[in-house]
Structure 1
């Protein structure tokens, strides 16, 4: 399961000789490659078990990390990876709400509940656009235009609109009009925007409608039941589990959830 940003990742590896037996190495070096390509080498030490090594690394960046262990005398190597969540991973439901929904109050279940909670949020936002409020940065390779279309909607507010060219024109957000539904940005004085431009804006829903919360619950329950529910019988699947193929999501989403997230004919992003 992913680590929280700033948490300590405990890295482990075993040193084995060519015959496969656990042995103490002359040296053990572990290198962590961060998402930006930089590296860290936390101190590695053998545990009380011969040939079993451990290193603690305090996470400092979100994303995929690669772990490379190299041993000498005997020569041995081991490669692994781990993920680190962003500082505030977006989730439609709180962890406590998810635990109550799934009837999983044991703290030992928290990592798996959080994993499927984040996955269900991704599925919800596939239909609705951003739900959890976040800051979005986008580059727009445009020339002289009347309107600029933000890619994430609903959009709440503009933070900045700046030129990507030296000496280009920056725009004060107060001089611009933002359509939250379409994401269209226009000048209030009726003039044109000169690009290329970088936009920074807030997107999402400060108040989450009940249909989206309900859809998130249905998706979380479905994913848990079909992928994470140990010992669950696959016989007698009722309407709760009925799915139709969805481009990009396959059969992961029950029909009932799709109907909750799209209560009208307006399509994704309007619910």
Structure 2
């Protein structure tokens, strides 16, 4: 499961000889590939024979690769782990999710957080960003009257900067933003000259009950997949799924779709 940014990732590996027996290595090195392309090499220590650990304090969000290399005997192991950003975009808290799933222990907290993240992506597929976040996009259109931001609802422009050397940049207070459509144009009319890097804030300052209600239904629907193999079952009341949704399959029950329809502006719009 992903680590939170700043948490210590304890990495583990076993060194085995060609017969598969745990063995103490002459050397043990671990190399972590960071999301920005750099690497880190925490110190590896041996506990029981052949069992090695290395602690790494996470400093970047994103996918990390892990490569263990042992000599004397020669052995290697490759793994990975993810690190969450410091700012959460989850549609509900862990406490809220556990309450809805009627969970009273901490045993499955990491897995619940995983499914909350999956639920958030499902909901935002239909209604756009829910939790407010800062987005930067490049728009290549030149000499146009407006550009359309990709994440909606859009709340405010932060900066609009020209990409090319000497290119035109615009102050946010000289521009008009339609938050629902994401259209950006000059207040006084005229032509925008690009390409432009647009930074803006998108999301919902108030998350309505139909969105949070749909999220709870989707979470419970996805959580039920832990109870057995295969896709979520159909024909179980509030969790009926009449047909698969392009890009999401059977992840969205009919009842959740009905709740999301009033705010349906994303690629999943019917």
Where 1:262 maps in the other structure, the secondary structure is helix
Question: How far did 1:240 drift?
Answer: 2.5
**Does the aligned pair in 1 maintain the 2:234–2:240 contact within 8 Å?**
no
Question: How far did 1:235 drift?
Answer: 8.5
Tell me the distance in 1 between the aligned counterparts of 2:143 and 2:68. 53
Tell me the distance in 1 between the aligned counterparts of 2:55 and 2:45. 10
Residues 229 and 102 (structure 1 numbering): CA distance in 2 closer, same or farther, change over 3 Å?
Answer: farther
Matching residue of 2:30: 30
Matching residue of 1:92: 91
Matching residue of 2:159: 160
Tell me the distance in 1 between the aligned counterparts of 2:266 and 2:122. 12
Tell me the distance in 2 between the aligned counterparts of 1:107 and 1:88. 22
Q: What whole-Å deviation, never above 9, does each CA across 1:100-135 have from its counterpart, x for those lacking one?
A: 001123122211111100110000000101111100
Q: What whole-Å deviation, never above 9, does each CA across 1:33-77 have from its counterpart, x for those lacking one?
A: 011211000000101x11100000111111111100000000000
**Does the aligned pair in 2 maintain the 1:155–1:204 contact within 8 Å?**
yes
Within 5 A, what are the aligned runs for 1:58-137?
A: 58-137=57-136
Question: How far did 1:229 drift?
Answer: 4.4
**Does the aligned pair in 1 maintain the 2:29–2:70 contact within 8 Å?**
yes
Residues 37 and 158 (structure 1 numbering): CA distance in 2 closer, same or farther, change over 3 Å?
Answer: same
Matching residue of 2:173: 174
Task: Indicate yes or no: 2:27 matched with 1:14.
Answer: no
Matching residue of 1:184: 183
Tell me the distance in 2 between the aligned counterparts of 1:194 and 1:144. 5
Matching residue of 1:141: 140
Alignment partner of 1:239 out of 237, 240, 243? 237
Structure 2's unaligned 5+ residue stretches are: none
Matching residue of 2:252: 253
Matching residue of 2:223: 224
Structure 1's unaligned 5+ residue stretches are: none
Question: How far did 1:89 drift?
Answer: 2.6
Matching residue of 1:199: 198
Where 1:107 maps in the other structure, the secondary structure is coil
> How many pairs were matched up?
265
**Normalising by the residue count of structure 1, what TM-score does the alignment of the two structures yield?**
0.93
**Does the aligned pair in 2 maintain the 1:30–1:44 contact within 8 Å?**
yes
Matching residue of 1:55: 54
**Normalising by the residue count of structure 2, what TM-score does the alignment of the two structures yield?**
0.94
Residues 256 and 28 (structure 1 numbering): CA distance in 2 closer, same or farther, change over 3 Å?
Answer: same
Matching residue of 1:4: 4
Tell me the distance in 1 between the aligned counterparts of 2:258 and 2:116. 20
Where 1:193 maps in the other structure, the secondary structure is coil
